[in-house]
């Protein structure tokens, strides 16, 4: 099976997309060296996807990923832009209370950075936690700040809003 790699510009730098048979099999921050540019609208489509305005126009291929990880990733896709949920909340939502660490592992192994917004999932104890893309937690904080600024207007306190799907509106402080 042949893999195609394309680069697209985004407001926070280049993003690389790996495709097989027309579906996305991996996404990463940074442009793959020598990869051709993706069609021009992909950068805007990625921005619109992150801001919750519309779905990205290319399907994600979840084949080969465990049902638990897919459920956790799909649930992360339900978190609105600039809003966060904890690993434990995601575990509860997918019917596995007490599996916060497994959700953390699923987010850490997310091959679809940005399309599956694992940067919106944070630890219960506060802060923003780790992030495996870009410059780690600094990139995660920058993505959340960008989303908050673009999608919701800047919050003067700098607090991150919690996902309303669990009825908890306490702010989490950025690291």
> What's the pLDDT score for residue 119?
94
For the chain, the C-alpha Rg in angstroms (whole number) is 16
Distance between CA atoms of residues 151 and 168, nearest Å: 20
Average confidence score pLDDT of the chain? 82
- For residue 3, how many C-alpha atoms fall within 13 Å in the half-sphere facing its CB? 11
Distance between CA atoms of residues 140 and 175, nearest Å: 10
Residue 15 pLDDT > 70, yes or no?
yes
Average pLDDT over every residue of 77-87: 93
Domain spans, the chain: 4-50, 67-173
Distance between CA atoms of residues 81 and 175, nearest Å: 18
Q: Which CATH class is domain 67-173?
A: mainly alpha
Quick one: which of 123, 174, 122 has its CA closest to 148? 174
- Tokens matching residue 74: 């799909």
Residue 167 pLDDT > 60, yes or no?
no
pLDDT in tens, 95-118: 999 999 999 999 999 999 889 999
Average pLDDT over every residue of 145-154: 78
Dihedral of CA 96/85/29/105: which sign? Answer: negative
pLDDT in tens, 16-73: 888 888 889 988 887 777 788 887 678 788 888 888 888 888 889 999 999 999 999 9
Q: Any idea which residues carry the catalytic annotation?
A: 118
> What's the pLDDT score for residue 162?
54
- Tokens matching residue 112: 């679809």
């Amino acid at each position: 099976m042949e893999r195609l790699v394309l680069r697209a510009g985004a407001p926070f730098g280049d993003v690389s997309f790996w495709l097989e048979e027309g579906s996305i099999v991996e996404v990463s921050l940074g442009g793959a060296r020598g990869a051709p540019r993706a069609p021009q609208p992909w950068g805007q489509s990625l921005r619109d996807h992150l801001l919750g305005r519309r779905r990205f126009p290319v399907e994600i291929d979840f084949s080969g990923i465990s049902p638990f990880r897919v459920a956790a990733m799909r649930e992360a896709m339900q978190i609105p832009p600039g809003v966060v949920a904890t690993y434990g909340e995601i575990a509860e939502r997918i019917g596995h209370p007490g599996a916060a660490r497994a959700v953390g592992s699923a987010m850490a192994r997310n091959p679809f950075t940005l399309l599956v917004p694992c940067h919106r999932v944070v630890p219960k104890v506060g802060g923003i936690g780790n992030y495996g893309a870009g410059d780690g937690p600094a990139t995660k904080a920058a993505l959340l700040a960008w989303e908050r600024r673009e999608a919701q207007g800047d919050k003067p306190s700098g607090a991150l809003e919690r996902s309303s799907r669990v009825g908890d509106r306490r702010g989490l402080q950025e690291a």
